[in-house]
Amino acid sequence: MIRVVVFGCGVMGRKIARALLDKKSFKIAGAVDINPEIVGKDVGTLVDAPGLGVAVQTDAALKTLDADAVVLTTTSHLPDVAAQIGRCVEVGFDVVSTCEQLSYPWKRHPGVAAELDKLAKSRGVTVVGTGINPGFLMDTLPLILSAPCLRVDAVRVRRLQDSARRRIPFQTKIGTNLAPDEWRRKISDGSITGHVGLLESIYAIAAGLGWKLDEANESAPEPILAERETPSGLGSVRAGRAIGLRSTAVGRKGGRSVIELEFVAHAGLKDERDEISIEGDPPIRQVIAGGVPGDAGTVAVTVNTIPRAIEAPPGLKTMMDLAIPRWTP
């Protein structure tokens, strides 16, 4: 049985804790959060389960916990989470994090990545960032699907989601129910982040295929505006206000686009799907009708990556460095 500490007990951390409780392969050995309103509470009560006798503590308690791994779900940006990862590594825990920028940190934050890699190797533990996207659907899965190809010329991935079915923090960060001017201002000043991780997926695909890109660019996200009154988790959205966004990123090599990613999420989207196209010999096209539910997918990929991280050699890893993730009983 793998003993796991849940670091970050917000919406996603609680979903992961619930999933860990439902699997016989794991035991929750501790929980950490900075919110004084939940510190001291039993983890079971946070996830509508019987009491576990495991109280939420501050990260000062990490060194007192008897565990194998930490699942860290605090923030999307690596510079903001690096110190938290470092504290877990210092204690000797393997770390699996939903931090999007950790999924492939060597391009955007090479200095931080090098420091974490050195520290993890010195402590004999593994650190990896994952999730449904980035981490699996828009990078790892396309690489897996390239296995039957004799030649790969280009990779294109589209992810189309009804954001009204996602958790409230996700709907907030894509700007649901904001006026267009306010949406653009908040994206510009970082008050809302939009989708994070498209460039990390570009870099992961390129590295996995052995491609040296001439450039990789992410376009500024654009709001999708309601054409009519549209229900969402943040209330009914009037026509003309934002119901979500569209984000794109492109990697270029040899004068042409060889990796194209498109992420669309808005309330009321009808044709949900995940679509992967590989131009090559032979060409591959995979469509997941209905798409993979984002929250459930993130929870599952994260939990199912824990055993693969524990098995992996020490250091800062990406998903392509690990054994292929699979369902864990």
Residue 211 lies in a domain: yes
Residue 274: CATH number of its domain: 3.30.360
**How far apart, in whole angstroms, are the C-alpha atoms of residue 168 and residue 176?**
10
Same domain for 285 and 148: yes
Same domain for 260 and 182: yes
Note down the domain range covering 162. Answer: 140-291
Same domain for 80 and 174: no
Q: What is the pLDDT of residue 123?
A: 98
**How far apart, in whole angstroms, are the C-alpha atoms of residue 212 and residue 96?**
27
Query: How many of the other CB atoms lie within 10 Å of CB of 319?
Result: 27
Residue 328 lies in a domain: no
Same domain for 149 and 126: no
Same domain for 107 and 75: yes
Q: Where are the beta strands (DSSP E) in the chain?
A: 2-7, 26-32, 56-57, 69-72, 94-97, 126-129, 151-162, 215-218, 222-225, 242-253, 256-266, 273-281, 284-289, 315-317
Same domain for 171 and 93: no
Residue 190 lies in a domain: yes
**How far apart, in whole angstroms, are the C-alpha atoms of residue 21 and residue 32?**
16
Same domain for 40 and 105: yes
Same domain for 25 and 118: yes
Same domain for 280 and 149: yes
For 297-326, the DSSP string reads HHHHHHHHHHHHHHHSPSEEE-GGGSPPP-
Same domain for 313 and 262: no
Residue 14 lies in a domain: yes
Residue 82: CATH number of its domain: 3.40.50.720
Same domain for 119 and 220: no
Using alpha carbons only, give the angle 300, 325, 287 rounded to the nearest 5 degrees: 75
**For residues 26 and 303, is the Cβ–Cβ distance under 8 A?**
yes
Residue 218 lies in a domain: yes
**For residues 266 and 244, is the Cβ–Cβ distance under 8 A?**
yes
Same domain for 282 and 146: yes
Domains identified in the chain, total number: 2
List the chain pLDDT tens, one digit each, 329 residues: 999 999 999 999 999 999 999 999 999 999 999 999 999 999 999 999 999 999 999 999 999 999 999 999 999 999 999 999 999 999 999 999 999 999 999 999 999 999 999 999 999 999 999 999 999 999 999 999 999 999 999 999 999 999 999 989 999 999 999 999 999 999 999 899 889 999 999 999 999 999 999 999 999 999 999 999 999 999 999 999 999 999 999 999 999 999 999 999 999 999 999 999 999 999 999 999 999 999 999 999 999 999 999 999 999 999 999 999 899 99
Residue 258 lies in a domain: yes
Residue 329 lies in a domain: no
**How far apart, in whole angstroms, are the C-alpha atoms of residue 148 and residue 144?**
9
Residue 326 lies in a domain: no
